[in-house]
Amino acid sequence: MKNIKLTIEYDGGRYLGWQRLGDSDKTIQGKIENVLSELAETKIEIVGSGRTDAGTHAKGQVANFKTTSNMDFLAMQDYLNRYLPRDIIVKELEEVPERFHARYNAVRKKYSYYVWNNVVPSAFERNYSYYYPGQLNVDKMNEACRKLVGTHDFIGFSSLKKTKKSTVRTIDEITIHREGELLHFTFIGDGFLYKMVRIIMGTLLEIGAGMTEPEYIDAIFESGIRSDAGMTVPSHGLFLDEVCYD
């Protein structure tokens, strides 16, 4: 039995997210499992590093599955990319140890969020960035980012309901780079709660717009109340760039 790791790129615009849904074939996981099952002539289930929301994209999603197939990896990759929709690409396959688990063994994830910051919208970036025409104070957003970096309980920056699981996460780095009219926000951390990056982004934009001050980050950590944080920005500006393992 082989344990195979997949590195996957996808445009999530027309899908209901990563996770397989029983009543829909519009998921990334479902599409890949269907093609793999046809290839192996038996039911294959894949394990992803984590869920991505409807509309979210990925440049480096990771998944794994087990199979008895002896097909050459290049031939398997060719088959997958031939029969998967064109907006889902398997970038790499490799055999990994039997105990490797794409979700439980992940130690760090990197996300990007893109904001088109210009009075005039973009015809080309509209599906891959959030259009925000107002002026933004990047210095104030950077000040807020410094407050977010570190180990904190991020429940106030999540759409999670009550949970017995820990909502403490560590963010190692948040950076903001302007690339012409495009603002590129990068988030690196050991894990992210449900809609956490999108809610942090909404909060940063409100701070950048002068609607609130960077110090309000501290108040959200203290209250732990979702409604105290900013809006949830749309998913189409969000990319899962990379999943890291020891």
- Active-site residue identified among 25, 53, 139, 190: 53
Q: What is the largest CA-CA distance in the chain?
A: 59
Rounded to 5°, angle at Cα 212 from 231 and 177: 75
Listed residue (205, 6, 197) closest to 111, CA to CA: 197
Listed residue (185, 166, 196, 155) closest to 52, CA to CA: 196
Ordered alpha helix ranges (H), 60-108: 73-83
Rounded Cα–Cα distance for residues 12 and 57 (Å): 5
Rounded Cα–Cα distance for residues 168 and 117 (Å): 32
Listed residue (121, 100, 119, 109) closest to 186, CA to CA: 109
Rounded Cα–Cα distance for residues 51 and 3 (Å): 20
241 has catalytic annotation? no
Residues constituting the chain: 246
Active site residues: 53
